[in-house]
């Protein structure tokens, strides 16, 4: 099954793709990213979807250059919103299939951000995402992964449990990932968990950093 990452339940509203989840969480996420990505640099977003996050973050963090990306079947979804925004520090979206061995990025990447992607990817795709991130960032650089997670096999809320069951009923390869598995994966990729931040709606902002 081919997945288009980062849609987050998108609907087309007023001729622009729109996700209510993105609208709800963009403010709290921005508050965290402003501290994590405080230095100038280029941030790669994996799974840009509607482009609501990309436009919001690039508009409020002018010291960053924001590079949207998404699955080849989905990467153009954000184009109308990005063109409408007309921000100089917001690049055109790139096709990115995390399964590819070469991500073909023209610029040095100083940080990576991805929201609500790990649970709609298969586990091998999550592994490739971590491996790919580790291969493009320098030591100390941050990889911010936002979404719901399990801990020691336990969900953090009944709603997350229901969401996980819904995902797995659609496709057994999808599902909310366990932090034990992610930490083990990250260690193999020379990434370490630096922060695990509680966010609204039973989500987390996990910050992984490239080891030296």
Determine if the pTM surpasses 0.85: yes
Asked if 118 and 129 count as a contact pair (C-beta separation under 8 A), the reply is: yes
Tell me the pLDDT tens digit for each residue of 89-132.
999 999 999 999 889 887 789 999 999 999 999 999 999 999 99
Tell me the pLDDT tens digit for each residue of 61-76.
999 999 999 999 999 9
Q: Which of 136, 105, 116, 104 is nearest to 177 (CA)?
A: 116
In CATH terms, the superfamily for domain 24-210 is Vaccinia Virus protein VP39 (3.40.50.150)
Domain ranges in the chain are 24-210
What's the whole-number average pLDDT of the chain? Answer: 93
pLDDT band (50, 70, 90) for residue 200 = very high
Q: Where are the alpha helices (DSSP H) in the chain?
A: 20-36, 52-60, 79-85, 123-136, 158-170, 179-188
- The yes-or-no verdict on residue 138 having pLDDT over 80 is yes
pLDDT band (50, 70, 90) for residue 30 = very high
């Amino acid at each position: 099954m081919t997945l288009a990452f980062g849609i987050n339940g998108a609907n087309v509203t007023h001729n622009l793709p729109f996700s209510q989840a993105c609208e709800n969480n963009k403010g709290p996420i921005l508050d965290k990213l402003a501290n994590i990505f405080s230095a100038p640099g280029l941030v790669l977003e994996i799974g840009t979807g509607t482009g609501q996050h990309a436009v919001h973050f690039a508009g409020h963090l002018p010291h960053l250059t924001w590079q949207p990306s998404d699955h080849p079947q989905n990467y153009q979804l954000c184009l109308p919103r990005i063109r409408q925004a007309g921000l100089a520090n917001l690049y055109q979206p790139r096709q990115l299939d995390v399964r590819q061995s070469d991500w073909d990025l023209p610029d040095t990447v100083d940080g990576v951000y991805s929201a609500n992607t790990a649970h709609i990817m298969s586990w091998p795709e999550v592994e490739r995402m971590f491996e790919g991130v580790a291969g493009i960032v320098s030591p100390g650089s941050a990889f911010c992964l936002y979404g719901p997670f399990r801990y020691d096999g336990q969900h953090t809320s009944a709603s997350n449990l229901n969401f996980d069951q819904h995902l797995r009923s659609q496709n057994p390869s999808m599902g909310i990932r366990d932090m034990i598995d992610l930490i083990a994966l990250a260690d193999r990729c020379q990434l370490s968990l630096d922060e695990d931040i509680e966010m609204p709606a039973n989500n987390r902002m996990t910050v992984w950093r490239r080891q030296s």
